[in-house]
Structure 1
Amino acid sequence: MSDQKLVPAEQLAARNRAHYPNESEDYRSARNRLLVQELELRRLIERVAEQRRALPPGGEIVEDFELTGESGPVRFSSLFGDKQTLMVYSMMFGPQRKAPCPVCTSFLSAWNGVGLNLRDRIAIVVTARSPMERLLEYKKQRGFANLPFVSDGTGNYTRTYVSAQDADMAGISIFTRRAGKIYHFYTNEMNGEMCDPGQDPRGAPDLDPLWLMLDLTPEGRGTDWYPKLSYGPK
């Protein structure tokens, strides 16, 4: 994309022929201006993804972490299976928590849906600091059939790639395997200190389509609403 000469977004938007019943001229004018920004956003997303893919090799992992899988002890290297890329989501469900994080659960609900397709390309795994028995109960309760879970009982992985203080934090990291060695490729490094004024702390890109879908609505994300583990009877 970076080597191609792009048509200005305004010219692309001018090709738009969409009109809907009873819309005003003000609406159509504003919608066309928005379309220009949407085209620019799509291009920015492509540029960021291209820059991310072009990152130099990260550091080799310091140890082949000891974890507990659904069938017993496992090493970090075994989580790749036959793939060269491993995506690890660390959820907020430490032993001190009475219940799993609702926001993490919302994300994993979406991830489970695409997990079957995703695992055809890469390896994925969910980890937390809670004992494996607790994670298996959670997995069964939520129906996460497409998501492998591992417990980071020692906390070594968590302290290395999620929180040096072993805090109950969420995180996503990508690792690559090259010539028999495993390298860190990417971790989302945004935190609450990097938020713009009035913005709820979050990283980017958003990994839960819930927020992207709410962005399409007049109400937006809101300022005081978060996913819940249960919404009661409907």
Structure 2
Amino acid sequence: MKYTDVHGKLADYRQQIANIRERMRETLAAVEPQQVQDYELASFDGPVRLSKLFGEHEDLIVIHNMGVACSYCTLWADGYNGIHQHVVSRAGFVVSSPDRPTVQRKFAESRGWKFPMVSHADSSFAADMGYASSKGGWLPGVSVFRREGDSITRVSDTGFSPGDDFCALWHFFDMLPGGVGDWPAVGRKPSCCSSS
């Protein structure tokens, strides 16, 4: 197939994806939010309530990260640095993992991460949000919350997986001949992302 033919076909597929995303936004707008409690989590500076993570915003994005043992979660988190300053102009943003704050701080410093982190190690937060696996581990994803007065609701969430929309690297690899090729993540999920 000629390059020009493929280019047109791919442009059509991308438009279909854009249309599906618009329908997803419309569906989300009609969802009845899920009431959640004001969980206490651990931070570098001590205990912190979920309500405080919103900062001055009504909305909060919480990344469910599986911790330092997951290479894919590290890959996703590396990508947040570039967008963090833009995200926080619109909503609160925090990465939550099962690692203790001392472990989180050391790892964040080694990666140059700028975003805040909290630990759900002594909380049912991740499990209650559906990000605990049936095998006793954790699952990656994102939850979005809204705060209205003293009320906190979850308005949307989705899991992460290799090839998803939350890591730009997959999409650059998709454009290469042979896709991800022999990159270390080829055709497999690391053990940290396969426990469900």
Relative to the length of structure 2, the TM-score reads 0.83
CA contact 1:57–1:184 (8 Å) conserved in 2: no
Structure 2 residue 167 is the aligned partner of structure 1 residue 167: no
CA contact 1:188–1:203 (8 Å) conserved in 2: no
Structure 2 residue 117 is the aligned partner of structure 1 residue 149: yes
**Whose strand proportion is higher, 1 or 2?**
2
* Displacement of 1:112: 1.4
Mapped partners of 1:108, 1:82: distance in 2: 23
In structure 1, the residue matched to 2:79 is: 110
In structure 1, the residue matched to 2:172 is: 213
Alignment of 1:45-124 (within 5 A): 45-52=21-28, 54-61=29-36, 63-93=37-67, 99-124=68-93
Alignment of 1:170-209 (within 5 A): 170-188=140-158, 202=161, 206-209=165-168
Relative to the length of structure 1, the TM-score reads 0.71
CA contact 1:129–1:155 (8 Å) conserved in 2: no
* Displacement of 1:41: 2.4
CA contact 2:144–2:155 (8 Å) conserved in 1: yes
CA 1:39–1:153 in 2, change beyond 3 Å: closer, same or farther? closer
What secondary structure sits across from 1:50 in the alignment? helix
Which structure ranks higher in relative contact order (CA pairs < 8 Å, sequence separation ≥ 6)? 2
Gaps of 5+ in 1: 1-24, 94-98, 191-201, 229-234
Structure 2 residue 104 is the aligned partner of structure 1 residue 135: yes
* Displacement of 1:106: 0.9
* Displacement of 1:113: 0.9
* Displacement of 1:204: 8.0
Task: Give the counterpart letter for 1:177 in structure 2.
Answer: R
* Greater Cα radius of gyration, structure 1 or 2: 1
In structure 2, the residue matched to 1:225 is: 184
What secondary structure sits across from 1:175 in the alignment? strand
| Cα-Cα RMSD | 2.5
CA contact 2:40–2:50 (8 Å) conserved in 1: yes
Give deviations 1:150-174, integer Å, cap 9, x for gaps: 1113131011011275522212111
In structure 2, the residue matched to 1:198 is: none
**Paired residue total:** 185
* Displacement of 1:224: 6.9
Gaps of 5+ in 2: 191-196
CA contact 1:57–1:183 (8 Å) conserved in 2: no
Mapped partners of 2:85, 2:93: distance in 1: 10
Task: Give the counterpart letter for 1:109 in structure 2.
Answer: D
Mapped partners of 1:30, 1:136: distance in 2: 46
Structure 2 residue 20 is the aligned partner of structure 1 residue 44: yes
